[in-house]
Amino acid sequence: MSRTNRCLALLLAGSIALSTSVLSFAQTTPAPAPTPTPMPAPAMQAIVPRAPDIAASSYILIDAVTGHAIMELNSDEALPPASLTKIMTAYVAEYEIDKGNLSLDDQVFISERAWRTQGSKTFVDVNSYVRVEDLMRGIIIQSGNDASVAMAEHIAGSEEAFADLMNQHARRLGMNSSYFVNSSGLDDTGQTNLMSARDLATLARVKILEHPVHYRMYAEREFTFNGISQPNRNTLLFRDNTVDGMKTGWTTPAGFCLVASAERDGMRLIAVVMGTASEEARAVEAQKMLSYGFRFFESHRLFEANQVVESLRIWSAAENTIDAGIPSEVLITLPRGRAGDLVTTLSTQETLRGAIEAGQVLGSVQVTLDDEVLYSGDVVAMKSLERGGLLKRLMDALTLFFMGLFG
């Protein structure tokens, strides 16, 4: 074999060996595993658990601004309210003060009947004079039965006449399950006051929204009168710094009762529990309700005042469209994080014609969440529109005619 041929043979043998080695490596070395595609994170959904069980014969939790009931049980049942009666007693006094018929500095005579009233006391002295403001604190903070009777006699002449005044205010406020026979809530005379949890929440809401200056007194933790200091009987004031009211009550028929209100992050709730087993239980159960409401619900501004909902076509008017909107601010209560799921439906007259007055009702709007109606109300004209001129009315009439003919 020539030298050239030997070189070619060696090169061929090397190439075959190299190819065999590469093939062998490819067969014995596993291919790298494919990179897994990351799974998308599940969308964050608003999850609301069922309301907690409450150990009370009747209860309700409402949003103080909207009045929406977040949770309730037997809330319309008329029950003995014990000293929760004094919320109405104080309300009547506050109403008279704000009407200018009564002053915080007025001196109130303490009758023997007021002085002898049993139960919790402010310890007013018989035949003495006490300022209205001190009696108010005695009623609200100390739950004084003597102070309640003295206030009732001062305003209406007798406790019986004052009870009639309480009943008139109850009817005016829509408290349809309430009836009063006295100003203190005592039920050892064979007659008793009656109130429902819903009525108590209604009354508390009116006091907070319409008489906010007077409501501040409900947050005071202690009151000293006649040298005797007594703490506020609402123990939640000492446990939760967002609680700023309102009132406790207890008698044997009524059990332990409590109306509590708190405000967190711009949302105010009112909790009412009636017929709980102990002083501790009423505080614990009310706190459970407040915690549930604040954690899982929110007050939501649905519409601003004078917010335009839609621009509507109008015929035979000076302009072709008119803005329809909501005249007043609308707030609703809904589960936290669900505002984006609200569905708004606008219903209007099929054909709007001619002159329109500002504020004229043009239709209605309904807002739902999961088929539950959260708001329903009118939409009105945001401004006045004059009737169109003759030519405009003629052209619009022809347009409507042909739309009806060929539409």
The string of pLDDT tens digits covering residues 45-66 is 678 899 999 999 999 999 999 9
Residue 52: its pLDDT value, please?
96
Where are any strands of DSSP class E within 319-371? Answer: 321-326, 330-335, 343-348, 361-369
Residue 353: its pLDDT value, please?
81
Q: How far apart are CA 176 and CA 180, in angstroms?
A: 12
Which position among 143, 177, 196, 261 bears the catalytic label?
143
Angstrom CA distances, 113 to 129, 161, 166, 174, stand at 14, 15, 20, 32
Residue 393: its pLDDT value, please?
75
Q: Nearest Cα to 312, choosing from 361, 366, 377? A: 361
Angstrom CA distances, 218 to 136, 223, 243, 389, stand at 10, 11, 10, 63
> In this predicted model, what pLDDT tens digit does every residue of 152-162 receive, in sequence order?
999 999 999 99
> In this predicted model, what pLDDT tens digit does every residue of 360-402 receive, in sequence order?
899 999 999 998 899 999 999 889 888 877 877 788 778 777 7
Band of the pLDDT at 316, cuts 50, 70, 90?
confident
Residue with the larger pLDDT of the pair 143 and 348? 143
Cis preceding-peptide flag for 246 (omega within 30 of 0): yes
- Decide if 73 contacts 59 (C-beta within 8 A): yes
User: Interhelix angle for 159-172 vs 145-156, to 10°?
Assistant: 80
User: Active site includes 143?
Assistant: yes
Residue 356: its pLDDT value, please?
82
Q: Is the pLDDT of residue 165 over 60?
A: yes
User: Active site includes 364?
Assistant: no
Band of the pLDDT at 349, cuts 50, 70, 90?
confident
Q: What domains appear along the chain, each with residue ranges and CATH number? A: 58-296 (3.40.710.10), 304-406 (2.60.410.10)
Residue 30: its pLDDT value, please?
55
Q: Nearest Cα to 94, choosing from 205, 210, 179, 225? A: 210
Residue with the larger pLDDT of the pair 343 and 29? 343
Residue 16: its pLDDT value, please?
41
Band of the pLDDT at 27, cuts 50, 70, 90?
very low
Band of the pLDDT at 81, cuts 50, 70, 90?
very high
∠ CA 207-212-213, rounded to 5°: 125
Tell me which DSSP letter residue 317 carries.
Answer: B
> In this predicted model, what pLDDT tens digit does every residue of 5-23 receive, in sequence order?
454 344 344 444 434 443 3
How much is the mean pLDDT over the chain?
Answer: 88
Residue 276: its pLDDT value, please?
98
Q: How buried is 162 (Cβ within 10 angstroms: 0-12 exposed, 13-18 middle, 19+ buried)?
A: buried
> In this predicted model, what pLDDT tens digit does every residue of 171-194 receive, in sequence order?
999 999 999 999 999 987 678 999
Q: How buried is 84 (Cβ within 10 angstroms: 0-12 exposed, 13-18 middle, 19+ buried)?
A: buried
User: Active site includes 21?
Assistant: no
Residue with the larger pLDDT of the pair 254 and 2? 254
Cβ contacts of residue 287 below 8 Å, gap of 6+?
Answer: 236, 239, 240, 260
Q: How buried is 379 (Cβ within 10 angstroms: 0-12 exposed, 13-18 middle, 19+ buried)?
A: buried
Q: Nearest Cα to 348, choosing from 331, 332, 361? A: 361
Which position among 57, 58, 75, 83 bears the catalytic label?
83
Average pLDDT in the 227-234 region?
Answer: 96
Indicate the residue type of 30: P
281 HSE (CA, 13 A, CB side): 17
Q: Is the pLDDT of residue 310 over 80?
A: yes
- Percentage of residues of the chain with pLDDT beyond 70: 87
Q: How far apart are CA 182 and CA 326, in angstroms?
A: 44
Residue 15: its pLDDT value, please?
43
Which position among 75, 86, 121, 207 bears the catalytic label?
86
